[in-house]
Chain A
Amino acid sequence: MNTNALKKELTGDNDMNDWTKVVALDDIPQLGSRVIATDTMKIAVFRTASDEVFAMKDECPHKKGPLSQGIVHGTSVTCPLHNWKIDLASGEVLGPDEGCTNVFPAKVESGTVYIAFS
């Protein structure tokens, strides 16, 4: 099962989510990210080498470093401040450090990225 499908299952996504259109997939570099600014917070949306997308709060659980500025590899990102590694799908810090950041369901449909902010 690929990560997106797994995520779909975990989030119980049968389009019950309230999807918001955020950006064209092509406007995010592969192995890169964009920052989405809402009224209340900043969200990082990542694109992997295989064009999967992930969204999470733009804050490392360690010292609130902006994860959007990190280097993306596989399905994880390394925080630019102190090199903590965070799993993009779950928001969990990959060992031996511990912590977790909020993730939001994200999907790509006909070249457009959608995020469910709820």
Chain B
Amino acid sequence: MKEKLVLVGNGMAGVRALEELFKHNTTEEKGSDQYDITVIGAEPHPNYNRIMLSPVLAGEQTINDIILNSPEWYEENNIELVTGDPAIEISRIQRSVITESGKEFPYDRLLIATGSTPFIIPVPGAEKEGVLGFRDIHDVDTMVQAAKEYKKAVVIGGGLLGLEAANGLMKQGMDVTVVHLLDALMERQLDKPASDLLKASLEQRGMKFLMEAQTAEILGDKRVTSVKFADGSEVEADLVVMAVGIRPNFELAQKAGIHCERGIVVNDTMQTFDPVIYSVGECVQHRGACYGLVAPLFEQAKVAANHLAQVGSTRYIGSMTSTKLKVTGIDLFSAGEFNEQEGDEVLQMQDVASGVYKKLVLKDNVIKGAVMFGDTMDGTWYFSLMRDAANIADFRRTILFGQHDLGDAGHGEASAVMSLPDDAEICGCNGVSKGDIVQAISKNGIFTLDEVRAHTKASSSCGSCTGLVESILASTVGEGYDATPSKKAICACTDCSHDEVIDAIKDHELKTMPVVREFLEWKTPDGCAACRPALNYYLMARWPEEYKDDAQSRFINERAHGNIQKDGTYSVVPRMFGGLVKPNELRAIADVCDKFDVPEMKVTGGQRIDLFGIKKEDLPAMWKDLTDAGFVSGHAYGKAMRTVKTCAGKTWCRFGTQNSTGLGVKLEELTWGSYMQHKFKLAVSGCPRNCAEATIKDFGVVCVDSGYELHIGGNGGIKVRVTDLLCKVETEEEVLEYCAAFTQKYREEAHYLERTAPWVERVGLTYIKECILDDENERKALAERFRISQKVAQVDPWKERAEGQASHEFTQIKIAG
């Protein structure tokens, strides 16, 4: 017999907890395989997206658009749904919930998610017709109706909710005045300069403001006619919306004797003082904090579900939140403690004419808070730096200009997302417009970047538009947006992050994929296309001499040792060490092209020759001819060391200071064959003219007369990033040792599919310098581990396959008929 779980409160937090609970099912059963569930809701609707009430009020969406769980969903999941019949009593002795209509629902476990209610200021006349809060569908209906009959609206409260309500009423054609007690709007999210910019921008749209006005009385007969203030002045009003705040709704719990302060007090597993009663959402007080934003509520829901499912492996430790205003055309972002305290430092940028303001509050080079107006493109970046408490000393000088100050390919220079028209192309790879993304978000009730990617494909290819997509997501769902979850799981198969997997493999000496998945409680038996290649790589990088590479966990390119093209054929790039090539080698390539009817040849960006349009069945035979001529695989298809690009160097060039080609060959001989988290490119330039473009490579050497400058973490692709200077050395031997050490450091610690550029930004140049420059023993140990790994890696996969290995990969089975 299943236990009975009763949920009081049919809202976003409670229902999310149920959805999370279902994910813990061990059988295929719909709904929960552990509980019989009853949901009791006061409103007559199924669960809807409360965050989207503002767009509904603004007429940008309908109520049907914002339903999150249809009545059918409850039915399919065997949930007994009680709507329009609020719970009025909890009997903890009987363990049952009693509703207004007198029905009684027994429980074994109870989840209270009663949310919050708008605070109505207790002034005389507050009960008059036409005075309401802004909280549910009913309030929105009332406002939309009022807008048809009446003209003048007053919104009391110049906070987030008040301004969204005012914007919506204005869109409905009303003349709106916002009344605010203080001298600055949204004072809990903005500092004064940002608040002034916001006010000016809203005034331009026709919104009126009465600042520092204290409401004294609502006047009128039956219906409101005007609002009177403490200074005696009055303003006409046919509709008054009170948006001065919300208060946790905990009367029901308190009446049942459950300990409440400002909200229902819960512990880290979301249990109240009665351990069979859980609570999540806006009604909750956790470690002294109450949350009114969606992201934290969802985190709570996940923890409660985990505990209800008796997995019990997670705790809620509080949330850091950020805010966006959902008013079309206004870009605004705020997070953390944005008003500086003594001892804090402030970085600030202000351009009044173009309406841009950015401010970061720092303490000891860690971001404590951020306020942005006009250009919020980098809000999500600052927020994740803040959340990770990242040390920003390395890029403090440029941080205000954003992460994207160097050309992002593919989507122009858009920075203020909300002012873009709907048909603006956001994702240049998949042709997705801003309108497509906004529609997908609202239609499907999306809250995360991954969901946007799944539904629209935006940001799912090259990723260069991720910042823009995050901005759109944040502006569309406002505070509900879950930008950077405190911990990002590798994929849906696990709750573990990349770092947790890397550490577990090392600390617990896990040596095969099944062992890793079992030890870390993977949810799928054999992983998925995202986690399997990652695990395979981590194991290979950690245990090079013991781990047996799993071909079926390799992306096809690395399994077929060629680059799959859109028509299913492959391309072949023979390695030419340092970009040098001999006549007989060129002849061999020409012969191969004739023999196999190669339709196109091209010189690559990395100074190699690419042969296109090769049928998979022909690959081993072609490799045989190439290996006979002395070539090995160029690994142009792999998450691997690709090429060392070189310039002519001092052998020929009149400016050359060192033998750049010779050093390039040595570097390529050292590093070829090494698999990495992502592609890895090197270059050696013979002088500071830098013809080999070494300063946009993962590891670049710029020769100077007195030695060699070593540069790291550059990228010439989607996001151009110029390298950081690691150090200067004097001999070629040192170049090779530092290169091996840096490469191995990256191989051991970066996340799968993370290139050196974002890795260096994430861990910081200072950290890398500490490991490689300051600690000679560590450097030598890293270089030695790279050497050991290379002993296994430098076996040419082409030669092996030309000799018949893995022949099943390259042969089709012919069947007549």
Binding site for B on A (CB under 8 A): 20, 22-23, 27-32, 34-39, 42, 49, 63, 65-66, 69-74, 78, 80-83, 85, 95-97, 117
B86 to chain A, nearest CB (A): 35
Chain A residues near B556 (CB, 8 Å)?
A: 69-71, 80
Question: A37 and B812 in contact (CB under 8 A), knowing A30-B552, A49-B525, A83-B529?
Answer: yes
Contact across chains for B808 and A39 when beta carbons are under 8 A apart? no
A57 to chain B, nearest CB (A): 13
Question: A39 and B526 in contact (CB under 8 A), knowing A71-B555, A81-B566?
Answer: no
Contact across chains for A36 and B813 when beta carbons are under 8 A apart? yes
Query: How big is the B interface, by class?
Result: 20 to 34
Chain B residues near A71 (CB, 8 Å)?
A: 528-529, 532-533, 552-553, 555-556
Contact across chains for A34 and B808 when beta carbons are under 8 A apart? yes
Chain B residues near A72 (CB, 8 Å)?
A: 552
B514 to chain A, nearest CB (A): 10
Contact across chains for A38 and B816 when beta carbons are under 8 A apart? yes
Quick one: closest B residue to A48, CB to CB?
B526
Chain B residues near A23 (CB, 8 Å)?
A: 813
Give the complex CA separation of A46 and B708 in angstroms: 52
Contact across chains for B454 and A96 when beta carbons are under 8 A apart? yes
Chain A residues near B560 (CB, 8 Å)?
A: 69
Give the complex CA separation of A83 and B560 in angstroms: 18
B257 to chain A, nearest CB (A): 45
Contact across chains for A74 and B815 when beta carbons are under 8 A apart? no
Contact across chains for A37 and B552 when beta carbons are under 8 A apart? no
Give the complex CA separation of A28 and B809 in angstroms: 9
- Contacts between the two chains (Cβ within 8 Å), count: 84
A37 to chain B, nearest CB (A): 5
Question: A29 and B813 in contact (CB under 8 A), knowing A63-B566, A80-B564?
Answer: no
Chain B residues near A73 (CB, 8 Å)?
A: 524, 526-529, 532
Interface string of B519-536 (1 = CB under 8 A from A): 000001111110011000
Question: A37 and B529 in contact (CB under 8 A), knowing A80-B556, A80-B564?
Answer: no
Q: Which of B444, B526, B555 has the most CB of A within 10 A?
A: B526
Q: Which of A29, A42, A66, A73 has the most CB of B within 10 A?
A: A73
Please tell me if B455 contacts chain A, counting CB pairs below 8 Å: yes
Give the complex CA separation of A34 and B814 in angstroms: 11
Chain B residues near A38 (CB, 8 Å)?
A: 815-817
Contact across chains for A22 and B813 when beta carbons are under 8 A apart? yes
Please tell me if B568 contacts chain A, counting CB pairs below 8 Å: yes
Chain A residues near B551 (CB, 8 Å)?
A: 29, 32
Give the complex CA separation of A70 and B556 in angstroms: 6
Given contacts A35-B812, A95-B454, 8 further A-B contacts (CB under 8 A): A28-B808, A38-B816, A39-B816, A39-B817, A65-B568, A66-B564, A74-B524, A96-B454
Question: A83 and B564 in contact (CB under 8 A), knowing A23-B813, A70-B529, A96-B454?
Answer: no
Contact across chains for A78 and B528 when beta carbons are under 8 A apart? yes
A contact patch SS: loop
Chain A residues near B461 (CB, 8 Å)?
A: 82
Contact across chains for A22 and B815 when beta carbons are under 8 A apart? yes
Contact across chains for B555 and A80 when beta carbons are under 8 A apart? yes
Chain A residues near B533 (CB, 8 Å)?
A: 71
Question: A37 and B532 in contact (CB under 8 A), knowing A31-B552, A72-B552?
Answer: no
User: Would you list 30 pairs from A and B whose C-beta atoms are within 8 A, ordered by A residue?
Assistant: A27-B808, A28-B808, A29-B551, A29-B808, A30-B552, A31-B552, A34-B808, A34-B813, A35-B813, A37-B812, A38-B815, A38-B816, A39-B816, A39-B817, A42-B812, A69-B556, A70-B529, A70-B556, A71-B532, A71-B552, A71-B555, A73-B526, A73-B532, A74-B524, A74-B528, A80-B564, A82-B457, A82-B461, A85-B529, A96-B444
Contact across chains for A36 and B817 when beta carbons are under 8 A apart? no
Please tell me if B460 contacts chain A, counting CB pairs below 8 Å: yes
A76 to chain B, nearest CB (A): 8
Interface string of B552-572 (1 = CB under 8 A from A): 110110001000101010000
